Amino acid sequence: MSLVEITPQHYDVQIDLKYATSDNFTGKRVYRKDARCFLHKEAAAALERAIVLAKTQGYRLCIYDAFRPSEAQWKLWEHTPDPGFLADPRRGSPHSRGVAVDLGLCRWDFTPLPMGTGFDEFHPRSHHGRLDIDAQSQRNRLLLMGIMTSAGWDFYRNEWWHYQLFNSRSYALYSDKAAGTGMMD
């Protein structure tokens, strides 16, 4: 299997999988409560580079989502079929390939930095380069983008929190069963 588990002990990140809680745009839990965080091994290597770069700036990363089984992508799409913010599950999401991560920057004590909007806020204010958010949030987004792109990630212009490997469609799609992650009920 090409997926590896991302844990705070091995990667020095905070993991707050929003879809394992009701604190997400659906208002419902999508993953099991005890869902774990996974990435493709190439994405995990890029994450390690980003962690080092964030540390040099005095920050840590907080992961809100990573590998997302195809079944979960369908649940999200059925709730909000908005191709501006969600990948159509018929085409497949970079998350369902294990090569995308949703994350934010945190202080050393894991206090999140302000980003102008919340995670998964499907609004134009969530787009990169917005001038209608405060200057500090703009700087924080640019810092996160600089860290992630320097570490080898591509960004998605509509979501400040979403990064994926380049050529993400060249990676295989995984269901929960095929991946063996046990994330879905």
Catalytic residue among 42, 48, 71, 159: 159
Per the CB < 8 A criterion, the answer to whether 164 and 94 are in contact is yes
Task: Indicate whether 51 belongs to any domain.
Answer: yes
Per the CB < 8 A criterion, the answer to whether 31 and 17 are in contact is yes
Task: Indicate whether 184 belongs to any domain.
Answer: no
H or E element in which residue 102 lies: strand 100-106
Confidence of residue 84 (pLDDT cuts 50, 70, 90): confident
Given a cut of 70, whether residue 117 has pLDDT beyond it is: yes
Task: Indicate whether 75 belongs to any domain.
Answer: yes
| Side chain identity, residue 15 | I
- Tell me the average pLDDT of the chain: 96
Task: Indicate whether 18 belongs to any domain.
Answer: yes
Task: Give the distance, in angstroms, between the CA of residue 34 and the centroid of all CA atoms in the same chain.
Answer: 18
Task: Indicate whether 135 belongs to any domain.
Answer: yes
Q: Is the pTM of this model over 0.75?
A: yes
CATH number at residue 116: 3.30.1380.10
Instruction: Please choose, from the candidates 88, 85, 63, the residue with its C-alpha nearest in 3D space to the C-alpha of residue 156.
Output: 85
Given a cut of 90, whether residue 108 has pLDDT beyond it is: yes
Per the CB < 8 A criterion, the answer to whether 14 and 108 are in contact is no
Task: Report the DSSP pairing between strands 3-6 and 37-40.
Answer: antiparallel
Task: Indicate whether 185 belongs to any domain.
Answer: no
Q: Which domain holds residue 165?
A: 3-179
Output the pLDDT for position 32: 95
Given a cut of 90, whether residue 185 has pLDDT beyond it is: no
Q: In Å, how far are 135, 140, 169 from 46, measured between CA atoms?
A: 28, 20, 17
| 159 included as an active-site residue | yes
Domain count for the chain, please give it.
Answer: 1
Q: Residue 6: exposed, middle, or buried by beta-carbon count in 10 A (0-12, 13-18, 19+)?
A: buried
Cα separation of 151 and 50, whole Å? 5
Confidence of residue 82 (pLDDT cuts 50, 70, 90): very high
Give the tens place of pLDDT for each residue, 12-54.
999 999 999 999 999 999 999 999 999 999 999 999 999 999 9
